[in-house]
Structure 1
């Protein structure tokens, strides 16, 4: 992102003020991302007589948080049909008629919120990434629409529950051809937006993509300085994982700003009209997955589970362990370069920063070495004592990899600020610590292979777990 875009005047009025009841206004795009200038279809249903669309690019913009890039004229409203349920996999689709075609000429690369504004006073978002074709020399922000969709309950079904909320009647596949629930962009707003704003404020060279795009075409990772997985990035295809691993092994640094990352193995399959519009994940019903016997490496369950176990820790350095928890983040290696300027000492804690899901370095699980645990945080989860770990390792290519080990990291960037709507009790001190640490991380990783310009990890797994359990 050029400085000219970062320094443009922002728009204060970009938020959804009143989502209203579900039928009031909702919509979806027929692509999770476009390249600049590429068209996409927008599908809208509303009980209002008319609506209009505003396209906001998320970024720093002097603290405004977004910029209005485009706005439509008034568009006649219509109520589209209700959800359609595909019985075999309990997949919900909207299958609406296209309302309008968006051209993105002159839209800079970045993360966008399309705000649908109905004349009944209600609003909802449709998220869209205007993705980068090249990422060489840049830090690639990798958004997670497959995870957004996994949790989406629009139409009564997600990968977690059916209409009654029961796990047994959950979807086995979910479709992008439907709106997102709540305000239309909840997962992006909670787990990704603050990281985008911070990265743009730093002025480092940035590129933008999504997990499904990296799955299909890894070219954006070629020569990238770093790739950043954001706060909740649970659902990956094997292809996405291979491509990120290959980039690491070619010298691209990797950042995991959350927890529970790369935990579920999914497939992307054909939608009604476009490829890769369906996210498939059978989870504990994996034996019913058509790929279970014929193509076991594509069978959709946790990466660590049969029929093709491959724990995520071989990439992330940490292993997802549990939910829910709420615990202080406890610094282990206070003199690590990550924590420069934070003023921390060994054993310093930051209340509520570990949660609601967490990862740890698990002795016995595959991890790249040398690996250093930089934070080791005692916790209790479901009555059992354990730890969350932040971890840093390097590989032969010189690439560095850092994982925070907590899902609240990106949320904490806003802690103690007026914008901190999901701060879980985290205070301004925690916000300042996480912000400075993230700045150190992104600035260092933007310089290229971390092993070439930052101290090597000091292996301490045995020491930490012998002393602390």
Structure 2
């Protein structure tokens, strides 16, 4: 009988895990897991304590009852240094806990990330009296839903959990971890102000960070409909994404299990010596917190003060939009709560709000709040613009995007919507409205190219790229076209637009490109255009 399958934090099968079965304090059986991670036993019915051990992984005990109704997903955590702040966003003066997994004594230092990494000093060294006592245990089953729950098992004394008070100054903070084994890890912490102190609010796309986080073996891009019964042995042979059998993001929205924020984020790790002007390598960095850091660095270089908030803090009203002149997004704000969209839309339409949408493929999918640690992504894109059948097979496009399918088209707010045309390419923009005030001081004329220099290494080539947005029939009147990306293919580039809403309405500037922010620190024209907009919106 198969009792279960053993896997690691990535839901990769673990072979040769040593397993003991204890009953009434006596050893009654032992085995090892197979290559598939399978654990077999022919023990009679009853209650047992199983003990798991494998070099390089944390050992643990599990209480089970045989026979099992279905195979158990046993999870072991590797000895790697990892961690996260919990909660991942706070208001100045609130406390957050430092949760880490480390096989060695670990040094903790706090930094604020702006134009430079500003150290706030060493916070502590995390260690304990017991051997390997900073090694955590994963819950069994689907930890993408439950969260990893660090610092819950074996932490009976509150003094064993290190709490950090959010600094007074708002910003993107990072905690640096370095242990005596020579490992390094960094993890973001969004700190909002207790009271607004600037005229500019920057929105961290924390929903997006979570959607792309596959810690636990699941994200909104792999196993989005839930973990399969057996762990992965070879991704290219086992995962539907690579077998051509996936109907990913086309299931009914009520079929998607929730995804927890309470997980370490590999995509948000920033190297110890990395500078804000360094190119962004890897697959995810340029669309997550490391990309946002480039925006904050540019704001500080140009002398702008700002406050930072998470998606959740806009949803729950912690971010009071009426206290600010301008709201800025980072480069890939794909996943939004309906409540945060409504707050921004109404602020712009009715109360002179000024919104700078500086990303691409934004407000594409609605996020449903489950609780303070968990959300559900309403990710069914059937018949929407991102449906591959619409793009490749000429299927009727009934909705601009997933957000349109569940609520309304964001084109009425930002003017442009992502399409697959041009995806994975990058190029400069071409100026198409040089008389507009947005181009003041740039020297650009119609037909001139700008946005050629970029820090984006995954999709290098220019400010219009990676994923790009264009106008749709739902855009409505009043949006002025300023520039168009020169990406290969017809109508494949990002369309830069501006609108001054009538009456008590405000203003919107949209770049429609993920790679735009990656050019701010290195491309003079992109920097000047963005300054022109900010200065106008701050008036």
TM-score (norm 1): 0.75
Residues 358 and 68 of structure 1: CA distance in aligned 2, closer, same or farther (over 3 Å): same
Is the aligned partner of 1:139 residue 2:200? yes
Contact 1:133-1:219 at 8 Å conserved across structures: no
Q: Which residue of 2 aligns with 1:126?
A: 187
Q: Which residue of 1 aligns with 2:497?
A: 391
Query: Does the residue aligned with 1:78 lie in a helix, a strand or coil?
Result: coil
Is the aligned partner of 1:56 residue 2:107? no
Task: Deviation per CA, 1:239-294: give whole Å up to 9, x if none.
Answer: 01001112212112000111111111011212xxxx2x1121142289xxxxxxxx
Distance between the aligned counterparts of 1:302 and 1:228, measured in 2? Answer: 22
Q: Which has the higher helix share?
A: 1
Residues 378 and 445 of structure 1: CA distance in aligned 2, closer, same or farther (over 3 Å): same
Is the aligned partner of 1:191 residue 2:291? yes
Task: Deviation per CA, 1:85-127: give whole Å up to 9, x if none.
Answer: 439xx63621111663333265421110111112211211111
Query: Does the residue aligned with 1:406 lie in a helix, a strand or coil?
Result: coil
Contact 2:465-2:494 at 8 Å conserved across structures: no
Query: Does the residue aligned with 2:533 lie in a helix, a strand or coil?
Result: helix
Count how many residue pairs are aligned between Structure 1 and Structure 2. 381
Distance between the aligned counterparts of 1:86 and 1:190, measured in 2? Answer: 28
Distance between the aligned counterparts of 2:440 and 2:78, measured in 1? Answer: 47
Residues 252 and 144 of structure 1: CA distance in aligned 2, closer, same or farther (over 3 Å): same
Moved more, 127-136 or 167-176: 167-176
Q: Which residue of 1 aligns with 2:352?
A: 251
What does 1:170-185 align with in structure 2 at a 5 Å threshold?
172-182=257-267, 184=269
Is the aligned partner of 1:413 residue 2:413? no
Q: Which residue of 1 aligns with 2:419?
A: 321
Is the aligned partner of 1:93 residue 2:144? no
Q: Which residue of 2 aligns with 1:366?
A: 475
Distance between the aligned counterparts of 1:86 and 1:285, measured in 2? Answer: 24
What does 1:10-29 align with in structure 2 at a 5 Å threshold?
23-29=79-85
Query: Does the residue aligned with 2:296 lie in a helix, a strand or coil?
Result: helix
- Give RMSD over aligned pairs: 2.6
Task: Deviation per CA, 1:430-459: give whole Å up to 9, x if none.
Answer: x12212222222222222xxxxxxxxxxxx
Contact 2:96-2:166 at 8 Å conserved across structures: no
Is the aligned partner of 1:265 residue 2:326? no
Distance between the aligned counterparts of 1:285 and 1:327, measured in 2? Answer: 27
Distance between the aligned counterparts of 2:323 and 2:137, measured in 1? Answer: 46
Contact 2:258-2:370 at 8 Å conserved across structures: no
Q: Which residue of 2 aligns with 1:452?
A: none
1:27 CA drift (Å): 0.7
Query: Does the residue aligned with 2:424 lie in a helix, a strand or coil?
Result: strand
Distance between the aligned counterparts of 1:183 and 1:260, measured in 2? Answer: 19
Distance between the aligned counterparts of 1:440 and 1:59, measured in 2? Answer: 21
Q: Which runs of 5+ in 2 are unaligned?
A: 1-76, 128-132, 153-159, 224-231, 250-255, 271-284, 383-400, 453-460
Contact 2:208-2:334 at 8 Å conserved across structures: yes
Distance between the aligned counterparts of 1:182 and 1:401, measured in 2? Answer: 30
Query: Does the residue aligned with 1:67 lie in a helix, a strand or coil?
Result: strand
Query: Does the residue aligned with 1:52 lie in a helix, a strand or coil?
Result: strand
Distance between the aligned counterparts of 1:136 and 1:414, measured in 2? Answer: 25
1:157 CA drift (Å): 1.3
Distance between the aligned counterparts of 1:177 and 1:84, measured in 2? Answer: 15
What does 1:64-463 align with in structure 2 at a 5 Å threshold?
65-76=116-127, 78-82=134-138, 84-86=140-142, 91=145, 93-97=147-151, 100-104=161-165, 106-135=167-196, 138-162=199-223, 164=235, 165-167=239-241, 168=246, 172-182=257-267, 184=269, 186=285, 187-217=287-317, 219-248=319-348, 249-270=350-371, 275=372, 277-284=373-380, 302-305=402-405, 308-322=406-420, 323-350=423-450, 351=452, 352-353=461-462, 354-362=464-472, 364-367=473-476, 369-380=477-488, 385-395=491-501, 396-415=503-522, 431-447=523-539
1:166 CA drift (Å): 3.2
Query: Does the residue aligned with 2:119 lie in a helix, a strand or coil?
Result: strand
Query: Does the residue aligned with 1:44 lie in a helix, a strand or coil?
Result: strand
Query: Does the residue aligned with 1:91 lie in a helix, a strand or coil?
Result: helix
Query: Does the residue aligned with 1:365 lie in a helix, a strand or coil?
Result: coil
Query: Does the residue aligned with 2:328 lie in a helix, a strand or coil?
Result: strand
Distance between the aligned counterparts of 1:337 and 1:285, measured in 2? Answer: 38
Distance between the aligned counterparts of 2:297 and 2:141, measured in 1? Answer: 37
Residues 75 and 227 of structure 1: CA distance in aligned 2, closer, same or farther (over 3 Å): same
1:23 CA drift (Å): 4.1
Task: Deviation per CA, 1:140-193: give whole Å up to 9, x if none.
Answer: 111111101100111221110135453447874321111002453634444211
Residues 93 and 84 of structure 1: CA distance in aligned 2, closer, same or farther (over 3 Å): farther
Residues 172 and 385 of structure 1: CA distance in aligned 2, closer, same or farther (over 3 Å): farther
Query: Does the residue aligned with 1:141 lie in a helix, a strand or coil?
Result: strand
Contact 2:268-2:288 at 8 Å conserved across structures: no
Residues 406 and 72 of structure 1: CA distance in aligned 2, closer, same or farther (over 3 Å): same
Contact 2:142-2:216 at 8 Å conserved across structures: no
Distance between the aligned counterparts of 1:142 and 1:69, measured in 2? Answer: 23
Q: Which residue of 2 aligns with 1:7?
A: none
